[in-house]
Structure 1
Amino acid sequence: MTTTTTLPHHRMSDATLGLWLGLVGVVVFALTLPMTRLATGTADAPQLSPWFVTWARAALAGGLSAVYLLATRSRLPTAAERRPLLLSLAGNAIGYPLLLGWALRHVTASHAAVITALLPLATAAVAAWLMHQRARLGFWLFAVLGSALVAAYSLIRAVQAGHGFGLTWADALLLGAVLAAALGYVGGAKVTPSLGAERVISWVCVMALPLTVPGALLTWPEQPIHLSAWLALGYVGVFSMWAGFFAWFRGLALGGALRVSQTQLLQPFVSILAAVPLLGESLDAITLGFALAVVATVFMGRRMAAPIPRQPPSHPENRP
């Protein structure tokens, strides 16, 4: 009689792999803030123009996307799919990086991390608006609270910087960047079921090439640029604009969107911590405190972001 011994199988589960991929995506996106500031420089010591960073990073991602789409023999988007892709192009490929780049010339990456921490709530709000969903009252209350916290942080920073009691122009740019990204995310989400997550960001970058390639050539820097700025541009083009989405979307698919998306709450803190060695920024209690408070409102708001379920029509035979 032959006995078979079964060895323990230690293969990582899909849920665990999805969680790790989600964390990789969060770290990639979190580094976007300090890397963008490294690429653009500051108002006192400018490097690459925010216009050039916007066009060049999308052009670089577009070239990689074209190779990927050809290698996977991906089909062309239909006419119905192109409109949401154009919305994603306007928001994620142009609007967000451009507004972020100009803002980061005037504020620190840590400052920007607090403002952009509102992005998950903004995305849920835009989804509720464009998809005509009735979100719960608790969601809107937390969205208002999170916005109030961001406004309070901006006012405190403005007073400390001697700008008076008012929002700075950079904060307005950051809020615009959040809105642009949220619109882009919702546009991409609309066609993800039919195109596939990785192909959505790839088609967005490819469709943008007629704009981004000429834009990059026309805004090519004429003055000498530090190597660190060019390396930072390479990062935001390859990882922030393209490869990061592969890890993030695959993580959501394997580990479940509800579970994996919670890792996004770590993103502002990773941005703040990364800005210390990359940019020489210092940690301060006000920034960390407000970041924690905003993330708490995002966490609670996202728990209530599910639309109110529609009541099924009642039938006479179902009545008691």
Structure 2
Amino acid sequence: MSALPAPERTFGMRRETLGMWLGVLGVAFFAVTLPMTRMATGTQAAPQLSPWFVTFGRAALAGALSILFLLATRAPRLERHQLKPLGMAVLGNAIGYPLLLGYALRVVTASHAAVVTALLPLATAAIAAWVLHQRARLGFWVCAVVGSLLVVAFSLLRAYQQGHGFGFEWADLLLVGAVLAASVGYIYGAQVTPELGAERVICWVCVIALPVTLPGAWLTWPQHAVAFSAWVGLVYVGVFSMWIGFFAWYRGLAMGGALRVSQTQLLQPFLSILAAVPLLGEPLDVVTLGFALAVVATVLIGKKLSQGPR
């Protein structure tokens, strides 16, 4: 097979680079979800909004915004072949992931959960290779595994530093299910992005989920006074985490390749920690920065090795 002409090759490289940056932007939006969710739900000592209300409420808010967006842009009706991937994205991103995560967090700590959910990038890449038939060199998979192990090691270290420890719990199965659900949602959403566009994909996902999320939000509406900061947290996770963030994320997966762009998720735990410094007043240490730099290195190296064999 002959090589592509220089202009086409350059355009392809620029498109992949833009896809990577859009993926990073999406991950940055998602990373702030953790401290904002903490603001929304509060703590056991000072509870605010119910975690169930946050789960349903954010999706319902995104669904309402999605209806306005689809009407304003005069979105065409969905084709029959688009229903399956959108339905899978609903099950994975709008319902499966938050519900399984919510159940698991009733049993294990957030630090414990971070250890398992840190495997999301590797799971997304694996499902991309399976569902979308994307191929990569062995070096890419080595970088993906090394990066995931770095994130797991970092999460373990932080858990031990905080005195939580780490041991297998039945809730770990729920966390693994949450990881798989999110990965499936990401990949199937990216599958129809070239046809619908990133914005319409997440909008249709949120609208299709409304028959579940709207009644759920109504039934779990808070019955007590809630701090203003908690509502700010809910608005953020509804507008940015569940909606605008996916605009960048789905488009990045489609432009840069789901297998490659998925590895930017390795940055998410560290971006969450950085966001927690100004929002929650949590400290930032040298160990965190060291692990973050190591993970960035695996992502960059993995990107260079991601081109499949020809």
Q: Map residues 191-230 of structure 1 onto 2, 5 A cutoff.
A: 191-230=192-231
- Structure 2: distance between partners of 1:285 and 1:115: 23
Using the size of structure 2 for normalisation, the TM-score is 0.77
Distance 1:147 1:17 in 2: 24
| 2:11 matched residue in structure 1 | none
- C-alpha displacement of 1:73: 1.7
Summarize deviations over 1:56-100 as a string: whole Å, max 9, x none. 101001011111111222122222211111111122112333455
Query: Where does residue 31 of structure 2 map in the other structure?
Result: 30
Counterparts of 1:269 and 1:102, CA distance in 2: 24
What do the CA deviations read for 1:216-239 (whole angstroms, capped 9, x no partner)?
A: 111222232221111110111112
Q: CA separation of 1:151/1:86 partners in 2, compared to 1, >3 Å: closer, same or farther? A: same
Note the C-alpha offset of 1:146: 2.7
Hey, what does 2:191 align to over in structure 1? 190
- How many angstroms apart in 2 are the aligned matches of 1:254 and 1:131? 14
Separation in 2, partners of 1:30, 1:111: 17
**CA–CA distance in 1 between the matches of 2:126 and 2:271?**
24
Whether the 8 Å CA contact 1:61–1:205 is kept in 2: the answer is: yes
Provide the secondary structure at the position in 2 that maps to 1:205. Answer: helix
Asked if 1:55 corresponds to 2:50, the answer is no
**1:6 paired residue number:** none
What does residue 130 of structure 2 align with?
A: 129
Residues 266 and 160 (structure 1 numbering): CA distance in 2 closer, same or farther, change over 3 Å?
closer
Residue 108 to residue 296, structure 1, CA distance change in 2 (3 Å): farther
Aligned pair 1:143/2:144, yes or no?
yes
Number of residue pairs aligned between Structure 1 and Structure 2: 297
Rounded Cα–Cα distance in structure 2 between residues aligned with 1:287 and 1:109: 17
Write the letter of the residue equivalent to 1:279.
L
> Structure 2: how far apart are the matches of 1:170 and 1:281?
27
Q: State how far apart, in whole Å, the 2-side matches of 1:100 and 1:295 are.
A: 26
Match of 1:207, as an amino acid? I
Q: What is the rounded CA distance, in whole Å, between the counterparts of 2:82 and 2:218 in structure 1?
A: 29
Any unmatched runs of 5+ in structure 2? 1-13
The equivalent residue for 2:88 is 87
How far apart, in 2, do the equivalents of 1:165 and 1:257 lie?
A: 31
Deviation readout 1:219-277 (Å, 9 max, x if unpaired): 22223222111111011111211123335556788999999989767654432221011
Counterpart code for 2:238: G
Pairwise CA distance, 1:45 = 3.3
Letter in 2 for 1:289: G
Check the 8 A contact 2:273/2:284 in 1, yes or no.
yes
Higher helix proportion, which one?
2
Q: CA RMSD in A?
A: 3.8
- Work out the CA distance in 2 between the residues paired with 1:254 and 1:134: 16
Query: Partners of 2:188 and 2:20 in 1: how far apart?
Result: 24
Change (3 A) 1:20 1:136: closer
The answer on 1:234 being equivalent to 2:200 is: no
Task: Compare 165-174 and 209-218 and name the one that shifted more.
Answer: 165-174
- The offset of 1:206, in angstroms, is 0.3
Following TM superposition, by how much is the alpha carbon of 1:279 offset from its aligned partner in structure 2, in angstroms? 1.1
Q: Quote the Cα distance in structure 1 between the aligned partners of 2:290 and 2:104.
A: 22
Partner of 2:9: none
Aligned residue for 1:73, secondary structure, equals coil
Change (3 A) 1:286 1:175: farther
Deviates more, 1:81-90 or 1:156-165: 156-165
Deviation at 1:36, TM superposition (A): 1.4
Native 8 Å contact 1:124 1:305 kept in 2: no
Counterpart CA distance in 1 for 2:166 and 2:244 is: 41
Mark the runs of 5 or more structure 1 residues left unpaired by the alignment: 1-12, 310-320
Moved more, 113-122 or 199-208: 113-122
Range moving further from structure 2, 165-174 or 24-33: 165-174
Give distance in 2, aligned partners of 1:124 and 1:105: 29
Q: Does structure 2 conserve the Cα–Cα contact (< 8 Å) formed by 1:113 and 1:272?
A: no
Q: Report how far residue 114 of structure 1 moved.
A: 7.9
In 2, Cα distance between the equivalents of 1:82 and 1:97?
21
Between 111-120 and 299-308, the greater mean CA deviation after superposition: 111-120
| TM-score, normalising length: structure 1 | 0.75
